[in-house]
Structure formats: C-alpha cells, structure tokens
Amino acid sequence: MINLVLSVLSLFLIFLQLTYPSSLTLFSVRPDFLLIIVIFLSLYSKGLRSFFWAVLLGGLKDLVSFDLFGLNLLSYSLISIGLKYLEVRFFLKERTSTLFLFVLCVCFINLFLNNMLHVILAGRQYFLLPVLRIFFLGSLLTAIWSIPVIYILKKCASEFFTV
C-alpha cells in the first residue's frame, strides 16, 4: 500500500518538477521535490526501503534530465545512506522549524555533492556565482516546499512508518 502511495506521489512530483511554473521559481531556481521524498523516507522508514527509493527516484530524475545518467542516482543514494547511517531522526524534534532547517542543510549538501559529481564525472566547469545561487536558493526553495510535502506524506502514511 505504502509503495503504491509513494509511486503515485513520486509520479506526480516528477511531473510537477518538469512543468514547474516559472512564476514560482526563485531567480530561475527550482526546488527538488524528489529529494524531499528521499529525506522523508531516510528519516522515517525501516531498513533499506529508503535506499531502494533513493535509487529509483534518482534514476527516474536522471531519465528525464539532460545530464550524464547516474548523477542524481548517486547523490540521492549517498544522501539516503548518510542519513540512515547517522540516524539523525533521533536528534530531530517534531517541530516544523527544526525540520525546515534540517532539509535546508541536507539539500545544500546534496547540491554540493551533485556539483562535485558534475565536475568530476561530467567534466563540467561552472562559474562561482551561479553555483552559489543554485546552492542557496535551491536549498531554500526545497526547504519551503518540504513543509507541506512532508506533512502530506506523514498524514498519508503514518501507520506504515516507525515515526
């Protein structure tokens, strides 16, 4: 059941990611909806479910993006493993502000990781200012969107997770 809910939600969010209206962007920077699902699952799901979904969602995002295949897959998987390994959930309180700051930090790390993979694996060269803009604005926008998305996810699937 939870896999079905996540599949439907993931498909909806990937469509939203592809058709995200320009009026809702922050200086042309768009949020990363799929990362919110990865963070949520890494915090609240059991076993290797979060890793499986990180691979799936990263692969799905890579499938529709122009960049080298596997970059999102790798960064999502690393984020998922990192969060699971550190067991951050126990340090997080059930407060929106804490969750917001947490998503902000994780998103920043993911963007940094993604940028490094772009530079190392795809051989890309970026100018510093646009990269910093993506880091800060991308993290902020994803953190803002994470509040309603995580709320919906919690409401939909509370009985399936070890919250």
Partner 1 sequence: MIRIKNLIPLISFFFLVLIIVSEFGPQRIIVFDSLKTFLEIFTYPAKISNLIISSQRISAENLRLKTENTLLNYEVGHLIEMKNENDRLTGLLDLKKSSKFYLVAAQVIARDPDNWASTVIINKGRQDKVREDAVVIGQKGLVGIVAETGLTTSRVLLVNDPNFNSACFLERSRVQGLLTGSLFGDCRLHFLSRKDDIAVGDTVLTSGLTLETSKSVFPPGLIVGKVKFVGEESSGVGKYCLVSPVEELAKLTEVLIIIP
Give the interface with partner 1 as residue ranges (CB under 8 A): 14-23, 25, 27-30, 34, 51, 61, 63-70, 72-74, 77, 81, 84-85, 87, 111, 114-115, 118, 121, 124-127, 129-131, 133-134, 138
Q: How far apart are CA 34 and CA 79, in angstroms?
A: 12
Phi-psi region of 8 (alpha: psi -120 to 50; beta: other; left: phi over 0): alpha
CA 29 to chain centre: 15
Nearest to 103 by CA among 57, 151, 53, 61: 151
CB 143 to partner 1: min, Å = 15
Nearer to partner 1, 96 or 120 (CB): 120
CB under 8 Å to 67, separation ≥6 — which residues?
Answer: 118, 122
Nearer to partner 1, 154 or 161 (CB): 161
CB 10 to partner 1: min, Å = 12
Phi-psi region of 31 (alpha: psi -120 to 50; beta: other; left: phi over 0): beta
CB 79 to partner 1: min, Å = 13
Nearest to 61 by CA among 10, 27, 19: 10
